[in-house]
Amino acid sequence: MVDNSNAWDVDAIYRRMGISQIINAAGSITRLGGTRTRPETLELMEKAARIMVNIDDLNRAAGRELARLTGAEAGFVCSGAAGGLVLQAAAVIAGNDPVKMRKLPDTDGLKNEIVIHTMHRFPYDQAYRAAGAKMVEFGDYLFAHPWQLEGAINERTAAVAYLCAPFSSNRVLPLERVCEIAHAHDVPVIVDAASMLPPRANLYRYLKDGADMVVYSGGKGIRGPQGSGVLVGRADLIEAAAAQANPAQFLGRGMKVAKEEVVGLVASLSAFVEEDEEAETAQYRSMMQRVVDALVEIPGLDVSLQHDRCNYLIPCAVIRFTDEWRGPSRDAIAAAMERGAPEIHLHQLGGPYELAVDPLNLTEEEVETVIRRLSEELTKQS
C-alpha cells in the first residue's frame, strides 16, 4: 500500500520523453520501477545532495547504522542488490589485499570458485562472475545432498552462494545446514536476499542461520532509493567489500552510490524497521480481499488471498486458471492488461496458470482500476 498524498506532478517530464505512467501490480520488479521511494526519504535526499561530505567517512557512518539496524557486525550501502553481489564476490576472492584487488576480475592463482546449488543458478549470478568468480554447481534440478556440497568444496573455493527468493526451489539444502558444512571447511556463505523484505524478520534471519554476508535491495520493500542496497555481515568481509567500492579505484568503483542515496537508504531502513508490520499487513490484506471478492465468482477461476513465508511475502490476490476455464490463456490476459489504458502489469512468477495482484506499489485508487480492468478481461470470453 502506498500513501500517495504527497505525490508530485511528474507527468510533464515523462510526457516530454514519450513515457506513459503504468500501474505496477507486479511487486517490486526493477524493470517496472522497483517501488515508490518514501516521500520523507526524497525530501531528505534533496537536502543531503546540497551538502559536501567526505564519502569514506559517510560510508563508515552509514555502515554502522546498517549494522545497528540489522544486528550485523558491519554494513555497507551498495549500489542495489546486484552491485552487492559483485562486492560479495570481490570480498571473498581478494579479501582486503590491494594486490589481489587490483587483479580483479583476473582471478588466476586466487581462490576463485563460488559453489552454488544447481537449483539456485539464476541470471543475476553473472554479478559474481563479473568479479572473476567461477561458478561450481552441486546437486541437480531435483535434489541436493550434503555430501554433494562437501564434494564441491576444495582448496580453490572462495565461498558458497545461497539464493533466498520467492518461488525458488524448496528442495535445496537449508541455509543453516549449508553454513554448517561450509564453515567446517573455513568457507564463508554469501546470501542474495534482494527481494525478501518484508517480512522484517528476514533482516535478521539469514545472519542468525550462519550467513557471513547478506545483501538486500534498498529499492524494493524498504522503499529507499531505487539504486541502493544493504550489504551486511561479518566485519572483515564487509571491510573488504567496502575497500573495493566507491570512492576507491578498484572493481566496485563504477557501482557508485551518491551521498544522498546513502543518506536516503539509512533513513528508509530506519523507518522500515520501526513500522507496524501487523497494521501494514492488515491494510494489504484489506486491499487484496477486495480484488478476491470482485473476481471469485467468475467460472473457471480459483481466486484467493495468499500470504506465506516463502513466495507471497505480503498478502496478494492470486488468480489460478483451472481446467474448467474457457477464456483466454493466462499469458493472453496478462498481455491484454499491459496493452490497455492504463498499462497494468501483474505478478506472473507463480507458474503458467497463475496471475497475482501484488499491493506493494498500489494506491487505493489503482486497486479499483486493477479490479475494473481484470473484470473486463476475464469476463470477455469466460
Residue-wise pLDDT for 34-64, tens only, equals 999 999 999 999 999 999 999 999 999 999 9
pLDDT of residue 3: 58
Q: Which residues pair with 247 in a beta bridge?
A: none
**Cell representation of residue 162:** 545461497
Residue 9: its pLDDT value, please?
64
- The pTM score is 0.94
pLDDT at 2: 58
Per-residue pLDDT tens digits for 183-239:
999 999 999 999 999 999 999 999 999 999 999 999 999 999 999 999 999 999 999
The ranges of the chain with pLDDT < 50 are 6, 382
Phi-psi category of 71—alpha, beta or left, where left has phi over 0 and alpha has psi -120 to 50? left
Can you state the angle between helices 364-379 and 330-339, rounded to 10 degrees?
A: 130
Between CA 241 and CA 251 the distance in angstroms is 10
pLDDT value of position 254: 93
pLDDT of residue 10: 66
Rounded Cα gap, residues 351 and 22, in angstroms: 23
All structural domains of the chain, each given as residue ranges with its CATH number in brackets, are 11-33+277-379 (3.90.1150.180), 39-274 (3.40.640.10)
